[in-house]
Structure formats: structure tokens, C-alpha cells
Amino acid sequence: MKHILILGGNGHLGKILINVCLERNSKVTALVRNPKKLNVDHKNLKVLRGNVTDTHDLKNALINVDIVISVLGHGFRTSYPIQEKTMAELIPIMEKKKIIRFIAVTGAGLKIKGDPHSFVADISEIIFNIVDPYRMKDAKNQQILLEKSDLDWTVVRTPIHNNMDIVDLRHMGFTQPKPWQTISRKTVCEFIIRCIEKNEFIKKAPIIY
């Protein structure tokens, strides 16, 4: 039985991911600021109150953990680059504890070295840098830290998430989706589980839709 630490468990994607992991008989620890918002009760779930950028809280959450998944997003109260700051604290602790498997979710607009050149990718990057430069910079800096680390990381890039209760994975690769493309949160969660079970996309950043 794998023991998974989930960061961002109180978000829309995080809550679905916790349930999907529990359905697969994994042990789950969720490090959240407000445990009362989670509303999930399960014998294999441990909910810890804490801050994902706090060294002490991260060390406590990582006890006996095999895999770390980050679905951290930017809320209205997030006044700092949460992905970059979390990685800066988390990576050294994981490396010291020899916990090497890490998976994160970010937007499809993030371009990675080695991505095939395309007009759609160029336009998407321009649009996201104009519309939301703060989040784009945070995602880029998170990627830089991961690529410098010794972790077996996977960064799952996705278009905008929708609320459909379906699993409908049509593409996994490195080509950009169309600007109007969306993906269900359940599909994203199932793909994360696939990456764990099949040990796929190590040190890669697949785009799915």
C-alpha cells in the first residue's frame, strides 16, 4: 500500500484526488491550512493542519510517505509564489529522506525545453503571459527547481479544468491543446494515478487533454 502526501487537498482538484487515491487503497496524508474544509472521513486518510511552505510542517507530513503529489493553486489569499516557494522547501527534505517520486499539476501554457515548436504553443504562451504572468512565472520557477533536483518528478500540464464526472483522456504527449480545450478534474486525477502505477513520464512534463 503506497502512502501518498497530497499538497493542495482543499482545492477542487485536490478533494477529487484524495478520494481517487483512497479508492485505490492508498494511504493518504493531506497537509492543509484548514482541515474543516476537507469534509472527508476515511480510515486511510490523515489530515494535518499546516503550511506547505513551512519546513517543520513539511517534515512532519512526510513521515513514512512514499510519493508526494502537489495540486497547489493560487487562491485570492496567495500573495506569494506558492509553487516555487513550496518546492524550495520541499525538495531538500524529500532528497534527504530519499523520497524521490513527485508529481505536480500545472497549466498547459507552460513551455518546457524540448517541446515541439508550434504556432499554437507560441500563441498560448503569449496569451498566458499577458493574462496571468504571476502564475506563469511561478510555474516556470517550479519547473526550474524540479529539473535541478534528484527527484523522479512528473509535471502534468493541463488546460482549464471542468466539472464533468467523466474520464475522457484523448491525448497525452507534448503538443498544445486548442485554446478552448478543457479537461475534467477526474481525468487529471486518473492520469496521476496512471503515472504512479505505471511509473510513467519520469522527469517529463506531459500535456493531457
For 148-201, the pLDDT digits (tens) are 999 999 999 999 999 999 999 999 999 889 888 999 999 999 999 999 999 999
In the prediction, which pLDDT does 147 show? 98
* Residue 29, pLDDT above cutoff 70: yes
Any idea how long the chain is? 209
Q: What share of the chain is helix, strand, coil (3-state, %, to 5)?
A: 40, 20, 40
What does the pLDDT read at residue 129? 67
Write down the mean pLDDT value for the chain.
92
pTM, entire model: 0.93
- Distance, first Cα to last Cα, the chain: 29
Query: pLDDT digits over 110-156, tens only?
Result: 988 888 877 666 776 776 667 667 788 999 999 999 999 999 999 99
Domains (ranges, CATH) in the chain?
A: 3-208 (3.40.50.720)
Max Cα–Cα distance, the chain, nearest Å? 49
Residue with cell 490523515: 46
